[in-house]
Structure 1
Amino acid sequence: MDAQGQSQGQPWDTEAADRAVAVLKAVADPSRYRLLWALSGQELPVSALAELLGAHVAATSQHLAKLRAAGLVVPRREGTRIYYRAADVRGLLDEAALVARAAAGAAVPGAPAEPAAAAAQEQTVTARGTRARAVRRRPATEH
């Protein structure tokens, strides 16, 4: 990047950078990242999302409000229930996992390349959105 904020011939766009930073800040919280991950595959009500997080509905609603303000989730009301779905965020989540894996590999020379999401405990939600179960993946071993 040069002194005028240009990279590879493209001018610096302050507004676009501010929007990108707002998105990254919204995703920077582990609970919000987990919410986005769960919502990237299905639409779920707030109660199921709260159960997934192991948090109160009010706290989950606050996280969802921040994600909605960043344009990352879309609500839908059905009677008294509110359902959420993720905007097109799968690429963002995949890129974050790739960067985390690269950073982990750079931090520990010779460490196996395991995605951060696979090394950590993952949560899945049933199709009805009523139960959450933990799934652990074991790292591959070299023989």
Structure 2
Amino acid sequence: MESQVASWDKDRAERSVAVLKAAADPSRHRLLWALSERELPVGRLAELIGAHVAATSQHLAKLRAAGLVTSRREGTRIYYRAAGRQVRALLESAVLAGDAAGAPERDELSDELSGEVSSAVTEERLATARARHRPVTEH
């Protein structure tokens, strides 16, 4: 499989680390999951993570500085959304990496799985991760 990252330099590494640090906080991680599905106002996001609006706004500012979310103003309300599909991909990759880190060592037989079976397992894990991390929906 060919990598999509053609080169690696110091600036790119620093930007990547900034993104990972921004997403590393549990509250910001939950915000990103919610925003990867739909646009939401700050007040609703605060409810979702069980925090004050001011604390939620600080989390969102860090996510925006890292380029993970964008915002728009409508009157007095500010709405946030994920900056693109790559945000959801980042979250899903983190879930898969976490699953792999917590899994026992693979044996030779599991290494022989075909690409189709491996793909199906990956899709199943992603579906489980999505269901587990799905934010509360509005009524």
Relative to the length of structure 2, the TM-score reads 0.72
Identity in percent: 66
**RMSD of the alignment, in Å?**
2.5
- Decide whether the 8 Å contact of 1:100 with 1:115 is kept in 2: no
Cα deviation, residue 87, structure 1: 1.1
* C-alpha distance 67-11 of structure 1, shift in aligned 2 (>3 A): closer
Write out aligned runs for 1:47-62 (5 A): 47-62=43-58
Say whether residues 1:124 and 2:135 are aligned partners: yes
The one-letter amino acid of 1:92's match is L
* Displacement over 3 Å in runs of 4+: 113-118, 120-123
Q: Gaps (5+ residues) in structure 1?
A: 1-9, 132-143
Say whether residues 1:19 and 2:15 are aligned partners: yes
Cα deviation, residue 106, structure 1: 3.7
| Larger strand percent | 1
Say whether residues 1:84 and 2:95 are aligned partners: no
| Larger helix percent | 2
Cα deviation, residue 11, structure 1: 5.4
- Show the counterpart of 1:36: 32
Cα deviation, residue 90, structure 1: 1.1
Q: Gaps (5+ residues) in structure 2?
A: 1-5, 108-121
SS at match of 1:124: coil
- Decide whether the 8 Å contact of 1:52 with 1:123 is kept in 2: no
Q: Deviations over 1:24-77 (max 9, x none)?
A: 000000100000000001000000000000110000000000000000000110
